[in-house]
Structure 1
Amino acid sequence: MPNERTAMMYFPDSTHASSLKVIQEPTSQIRGFYFKKSLLAEVEKLEHANNYAVYFLISDVDEPSIYIGQSIHGIKRLKEHLKQKDFWQFGILFVTDNNSFDKQLIDFLEYEFIQRFNASTYIVENRDMRINKPNVNWYIAAAMNTFAGQITFLLEALGVTIRQAKQVESYEGERTYYPAEKNHPATIYLHDGQFVITKGSTVLFPQEKLKHYKDEGKLYQKLQAKINQLIQANQAEPIDEKSARLTEDIVCPSPSYAADLCSGASKNGWEYWQGLREERERLG
């Protein structure tokens, strides 16, 4: 097969095989450490885990969210996040086994992956969205892009896919569109198991009452951050202070998340999108 690749997996403790693993391509110097938060201390004991690194802290509960960071001391930097950030359940740290990363390179990788995930289904938890691209010459940029490609493959192998809206726009088959309730100007369609809000749909900033929900305002904060993220990535344009219009298709992990974005409230997506429940029942 033309796109086949090979990755080696090492399990430091077979009793925690799903919670702690090391991944690396046979001919690459990039090594990835996957770990659940509870096993952070175990990663520090592993060879090369304290090298220069770029890392990802990830939550896949409800709406997927991610924090992208860099470290000159590898896994040691992440200890601070145990106190400062509580949203994540697992992390992935990337180093080189010969410690060939330097400050300029991890700075570029942090920037690059913030931009990639900013245009994905993930909510990016970074406060600094790194708008300005690091200034490097073409030779260094080419090497950095190669590293970014290798890390993207390893992320995919570990189950973290950077799903972008542009990946679904080229689909030319027939689609069934499901409109929002109450004539709200928004529709979705299904693509490869994902729920896609169509270009031109209106999304609403979250209602103030969400601040007082039993989740202590977490849904409010996530919706606010996501719409700001879409505007910042030029995937949406403001209409007024309460709404924005999508400038491209946006992939969502669930119909309810798509409904929350479009309504500015907490909604059951199977009910919000007209005809969607009937389609699910038809498909069994």
Structure 2
Amino acid sequence: MTIGRTISIYLPDANPQGVKICEFFDSIVKAVSIPRAKLDAGLKRSELEQPGLYFLIGEKDEVGKPKVYVGESEILTVRLSDHHKKKDFWNQAICFVSEKNNLNKAHIKYLENHACEQAKLVNKCTLENSNTPTKSSLTDQDRDFVLRFFDELKIIMATLGYPIFEQTKRSKRHTYFCKSKNANAIGEYTEEGFVVNKGSKSNMEETTSLQPSIRAFRANLLEKGIVKEEDGVYVYQEDFTFSSPSMSASVVLGRAANGWMLWKDKDGKTLDELVRQKGISNG
């Protein structure tokens, strides 16, 4: 049985678009989320006068991945002020500190390295760090402490709308197929969207009636190296999450497509039958 967690989100100025203070009721992990436009107000927070890890977050790129810079500082207000002057891409900062103020330089250096490595592994953002930060040496006890800290950090990040450390939950019981001409794709419907698996094949040809937005999206997937041309088809070089089944089917087939009807399981049952109609029946 899954055990639930409670996260408190406090709005210091009662503005849902302003500074947010986020924390678990049963943890020392505290996050301060600051829109760049509200940086002056955010820098007045006493929590930022201590060591911590921070993320600078920019707009999503053409394939939906946000730009993210990971950093650490012994005094967060100083580092954020510096980035405000020198870095252009970001519009949101999320800082993580300890409620007990018991993070030291070695802790945050380890967290910085671990966050960068995990972001690369999950591959849901574009890292703006030019180099992977050096990992500090910790005792086993301290390492376990910071890894527990990170486990709670990533939950708060996802709650704030940035699931950049969340591995997509997969289940072989819910595998779907989309085939036509040279297209031969395998995927799965998840809570984050529709995932097309690495190794899937898309048609290179596009119909003349294909929406310009889908045409541009296919071009961006190719430009970013998410798909590569191999033997007359586009082959996915990594798992990729689309916003909807129809978006994924249209990109795979190179034409307008209803993904709810065209993604089918091994028995030929459509995603519509197995998910939407089932949901209506259960309701």
Q: TM-score, normalised by structure 1?
A: 0.69
**TM-aligned CA distance change 1:115 to 1:223, over 3 Å:** farther
Matched with 1:123 is: 126
Deviation string 1:190-211 (CA, Å, 9 cap, x unpaired) is 33342323133489xxxxxxxx
Deviation of 1:276 (Å): 7.0
Structure 2 residue aligned with 1:4: 4
Match runs of 1:89-238 below 5 Å: 89-120=91-122, 121-130=124-133, 133-161=135-163, 162-165=165-168, 167-168=169-170, 171-178=171-178, 183=182, 188-201=187-200, 227=225
Q: Give the match for residue 64 of structure 1.
A: 65
> One-letter code of the match for 1:8?
S
Question: How many angstroms apart in 1 are the aligned matches of 2:87 and 2:47?
Answer: 24
Unaligned runs of 5+ in 1: 204-219, 231-235, 257-267
Report Cα offsets for 1:75-117 as digits up to 9, x if no partner: 3212222343333222210112332111100001111111111
Q: Residues of 2 paired with 1:128 and 1:196: CA distance?
A: 29
**CA offsets, 1:49-71, max 9 Å, x none?**
22111011223535232211111
Q: Distance in 2 between matches of 1:88 and 1:34?
A: 13
Is the 2:242–2:248 contact (alpha carbons within 8 Å) kept by the matching residues of 1? no
Cα distance change of structure 1 residues 163 and 60 upon mapping to structure 2, 3 Å threshold = farther
| Distance change >3 Å, CA 97–CA 123, structure 1 → 2 | same
The aligned residue for residue 50 of structure 2 is: 51
| Contact 1:164/1:250 (8 A) holds in 2 | no
1:272 pairs with one of 234, 251, 255:
251
Q: Distance in 1 between matches of 2:201 and 2:136?
A: 33
Structure 1 residues 94 and 193: CA distance shift in structure 2, 3 A: closer
Calculate percent identity across the aligned residue pairs.
22
Of structures 1 and 2, the larger Rg is shown by: 2
- Where does structure 2 lack aligned partners over 5 or more consecutive residues? 203-218, 263-271, 277-283
* Higher strand residue share: 2
Quote the Cα distance in structure 2 between the aligned partners of 1:223 and 1:101.
42
Spell out, residue by residue over 1:17-56, the C-alpha distance to the aligned partner (whole angstroms, 9 max, x if none).
2321101223322221011110111111112222111011
In structure 1, C-alpha distance between the alignment counterparts of 2:22 and 2:194, rounded to whole Å: 30
- SS state of the match for residue 57, structure 1? strand
SS of 1:196 mapped into structure 2: strand
Task: State the AA in 2 paired with 1:252.
Answer: T
**Which structure would you say has the larger RCO, counting Cα contacts within 8 Å and 6 or more residues apart?**
1
SS at match of 2:90: coil
2:212 aligned partner: none
Q: Which amino acid aligns with 2:41?
A: E
Q: Deviations over 1:127-170 (max 9, x none)?
A: 1134x6433221211111111112122223322222325x32xx
Contact 1:75 1:93 in 2 (8 A): no
Contact 1:187 1:198 in 2 (8 A): yes
* Maintained 8 Å contact 1:74/1:95: no
TM-score scaled by length of structure 2: 0.69
C-alpha distance 111-221 of structure 1, shift in aligned 2 (>3 A): farther
Aligned-partner Cα distance in 1 for 2:235–2:132: 20
User: Secondary structure of the equivalent of 1:156?
Assistant: helix
Aligned 8 A contact 1:31 1:97 in 2 = yes
1:139–1:78 Cα change, 3 Å: same
Give the Cα separation in 2 of the matches to 1:27 and 1:200. Answer: 42
Q: What value does the CA root-mean-square deviation take over the aligned residues?
A: 3.7
Letter in 1 for 2:144: A
Amino acid corresponding to residue 88 of structure 1 in structure 2: W
Q: How many residues align?
A: 238
